Amino acid sequence: MKRVFSGVQPTGNIHLGNYLGALKQFVELQDDHECIYCIVDEHAITVPQDPEELRKHILDVAALYMAIGIDPKKSIIFVQSAVSGHAELGWILCCSSYTGELYRMTQFKAKSGGKESVGTGLLTYPVLMAADILLYDTDVVPVGNDQKQHIELCRDIAIRVNHRFGEDTFVVPDGRFMKAGARVMALDDPTQKMSKSALNEHSRISLLDQDSKIKKSIMRATTDSDGEIRFDPENKPGVSNLLNIYSAFSGRSVEEILADQNWRGYGDLKKELVALTQEALRPIKQNYDEIRESDELKAVLRDGAERANAIAEKTMKRVRDKFGLGF
């Protein structure tokens, strides 16, 4: 069975972009893959976090993983900092990567742009991500489009190390991207991707939003003034984003959807999308509260860390040996 690894940062406001770009894939893959799903708390501290909030958000994401249908009997769910191999391999890979390739990362440029002092962790973050993936001999990494460049870097590092120490050092992974949900844009400004941190809460739909909030955010989503419903991300980013979300939830292609709709205007499209979104998120919300309050949650994370650590330790032994570390 092929191995899958992915992670989500515990930074609150898990939204439709996270779900349609990444999380939905996590669930789909678990029946015929060996899946490992991580809550990447060490990634979260690349920007300052309040410790109490972080601790809460770690459990929030764990509960959300289970609420969307990740089954801890099938998949490993664990917290990154509980397995020390991530930080250790992260350091080793820092010594096999170049500052030039890290400075070139789009996400680093965006997050560091215009700032006088930038945390070192923001620069080396993709190397830690590469360590997360390579630590588990991962074949497939389901993520949103914004992580494409980081996956490429991970492959480059793996190939580089393999070249030096042998092909049996690291498995070179592939990214896996959705057709429709890979890049969900902000509802208020469809030229920006939907994000957890945008100030306007109507820019996103969080997975736990109430029906009334979902309705408000979609009905006030930015479109354009020509009134024609057509898929054209460049000239009509707002309408195209709504069609994309519609397609991701309905499982039908945009072409199919457009071929048999009889919407009179954007309002009709939005109304249908509201109903579709509310219906899709309802079971998640129903499951979430029960799981979040249960004692089972921490037991799942403890068991997951143990299982993850067993795999990680094997890789670390191999890697230390290849690099000549220890005695």
Query: Among ligand TRP, ligand AMP, none, what binds residue 132 when CB lies within 5 to 8 Å by partner kind?
Result: ligand TRP
Catalytic positions, please? 111, 193, 196
Position among 143, 187, 308, 316 found at the interface with ligand TRP (CB under 6 A)? 143
- Shortest gap between Cβ of 141 and ligand AMP (angstroms)? 9
Position among 155, 183, 236, 270 found at the interface with ligand AMP (CB under 6 A)? 183
- Shortest gap between Cβ of 232 and ligand TRP (angstroms)? 28
Which of these segments, 64-72, 182-190, 257-265, 304-312, binds ligand AMP (CB under 6 A)? 182-190
Find the angle CA(308)-CA(98)-CA(158) to the nearest 5 degrees: 40
Which of these segments, 75-83, 192-200, 248-256, 299-307, binds ligand AMP (CB under 6 A)? 192-200
Residue (143 or 281) nearer to ligand TRP, CB? 143
Position among 72, 90, 126, 144 found at the interface with ligand AMP (CB under 6 A)? 144
Residue 40 engages ligand TRP in binding (rule: CB under 6 A): yes
Query: Among ligand TRP, ligand AMP, none, what binds residue 300 when CB lies within 5 to 8 Å by partner kind?
Result: none
Q: How many residues bind ligand TRP (CB under 6 A)?
A: 13
Taking the C-alpha atoms of residue 271 and residue 255, their distance in angstroms, rounded to an integer, is 19
Which of these segments, 67-75, 143-151, 234-242, 247-255, binds ligand AMP (CB under 6 A)? 143-151
Residue 297 engages ligand AMP in binding (rule: CB under 6 A): no
* Per-residue H/E/C for the chain: CCEEEEEECCCCCCEHHHHHHHHHHHHHHCCCCEEEEEECHHHHCCCCCCHHHHHHHHHHHHHHHHHCCCCCCCCEEEEHHHCCHHHHHHHHHHCCCCHHHHHCCHHHHHHHCCCCCCCHHHHHHHHHHHHHHHCCCCCEEECCHHHHHHHHHHHHHHHHHHHHHCCCCCCCCEEECCCCCCCCECCCCCCCECCCCCCCHHHCCECCCCHHHHHHHHHCCCCCCCCCCCCCCCCCHHHHHHHHHHHHHHCCCHHHHHHCCCCCCHHHHHHHHHHHHHHHHHHHHHHHHHHHHCCHHHHHHHHHHHHHHHHHHHHHHHHHHHHCCCC
Residue 7 engages ligand TRP in binding (rule: CB under 6 A): yes
Query: Among ligand TRP, ligand AMP, none, what binds residue 5 when CB lies within 5 to 8 Å by partner kind?
Result: ligand TRP
Position among 35, 123, 180, 184 found at the interface with ligand AMP (CB under 6 A)? 184
Residues that bind ligand TRP (CB under 6 A): 5-7, 9, 40, 43, 129, 132-133, 141, 143, 147, 150
